[in-house]
Amino acid sequence: MAARFSFFILLSLLFFSEKGWPLDRFPLAHSALTASQAILFVTRDAGIFRKYNLDPQIIYIVGGPTNTAALISGSVDFSIFAGPASVSANLGGADTAILMSFVNTLEHSVFAHASIKKPDDLRGKRIGIARPGSSDHYGATVALKKWGLEPDKEVSLISIGGPPDRYLALQAGRVDAILLQPPLTVRAQKAGFNRLAALVDLGLDYVGTSFGTTRSVISQKEELVRRVVRAFVEGIHFYKTNKQASLKTIAKLMKTDDSEALEEAYNAYAVKFMARVPYPALKGVEAILEDLAKTNPKARGADPKRFVESRFLKELEESGFVSQLYGK
């Protein structure tokens, strides 16, 4: 009897935290090997998921559209990707919802071969993107139109893959330009590639690096969703207040020890772009809908609130959890 009692105590210790939460193992995908998505790994490496008895099984799936397909199929419960894929899927009848947005602008820079001095020199050239519907595809399209160039007519958009693959393609001359985020921006600059533009200077509203799920998951696993959002908000606090540990995680993710590049990445995401409470920007959703409306009539007049679910963030903020983290 005593042995059996001890066995059940051991099971309780293994499967429940001190707060009474069961251990939850769940699939979580991310769409790019970039510092903009480092918050996932910072939160994991800091032990914050484990603190809330969460055990995300992290899967790398290139590009927002393929991540969205994995969500819709039920292959993953959550994904980190750019907002347009989720919005587009929702318009098509899927029950996708954006829970958080870590970056509410376009932070990519356009890099080209040294022979390309100005945007008009891109005419007749090739820009490498992850794939149609990805954030860099959207950014390239917006930038080209702003420069008076017609995407896919005057400038070819070539699907290559994630940022490291696009950078290798630029080096090899398979494309003439690409869009990059920190820390690869520093690497590209040091290699002699020309930065044609930083899209953040265009002042564009956008739902960039985001965290999404489906309303089915929210309905069936509400407490899991609540704890995952809580863990990420605490992860953002760690990111902002534990620089050296965060730099170590970014270095491991990006496979670089370039201190200048790592510093740029940290200052961009931990300091500049990432809010303490990462609400998805409704103006950013509006911008995405406006772009989609050019080819999808369903986007016209759609309510931006339909595509986001901010109540978990609102609960945390109103509970005082965020102010307690930051001491005010």
Domain coordinates in residue numbering, the chain: 18-105+206-326, 109-202
DSSP state, residue 125: -
Q: Which tokens go with 201? A: 């200077």
- Strands of 194-198's sheet, edge to edge? 156-159, 126-129, 177-180, 109-112, 194-198
CA distance 315 to 322: 10
Local confidence pLDDT in tens for the 328 residues of the chain: 444 444 444 444 444 444 566 789 999 999 988 888 999 999 999 999 999 999 999 999 988 889 999 999 999 999 999 899 999 999 999 999 999 999 998 888 999 999 999 999 999 999 999 888 777 888 899 899 889 999 999 999 999 988 889 999 999 999 999 999 888 899 999 999 999 998 888 777 889 899 999 999 999 999 999 999 999 999 999 999 999 999 999 999 999 999 999 999 999 999 999 999 999 999 999 999 998 998 899 999 999 999 999 999 999 999 999 999 999 7
pLDDT of residue 14: 44
Provide the Cα torsion 136, 33, 311, 88; round to 10°: 40
What does the DSSP 8-state code read for residue 192? Answer: T
At 21 the pLDDT is: 67
The whole-number pLDDT of residue 264 equals 92
Of all residues in the chain, what percent are helix, strand and coil, respectively (each to 5)?
50, 20, 30
CA distance 47 to 249: 12
Q: What is the pLDDT of residue 125?
A: 97
What the block records as the tokens of 93 is 């009848």
Cα–Cα distance measured from residue 155 to residue 40, given in angstroms and rounded to the nearest whole number: 34
Q: At residue 153, what is the residue type?
A: K
Query: Residue 86 in contact with residue 133, Cβ under 8 Å?
Result: no
pLDDT at residue 9, as a whole number: 40
Q: How far is CA 216 from CA 69, 86, 219, 220, in A?
A: 14, 14, 5, 6
Model pLDDT, residue 203: 77
Whole-Å CA distances, 201 to 39, 123, 204, 214, 280: 23, 22, 8, 33, 20
d(CA 148, CA 153): 12
CATH code for the structural domain at 109-202: 3.40.190.10
Number of residues assigned to the chain: 328
Q: Does domain 18-105+206-326 have CATH number 2.30.30.230?
A: no
Task: Quickly count: other Cβ atoms within 10 Å of residue 232's Cβ.
Answer: 27
pLDDT of residue 65: 86
pLDDT given at position 119: 94
pLDDT of residue 20: 62
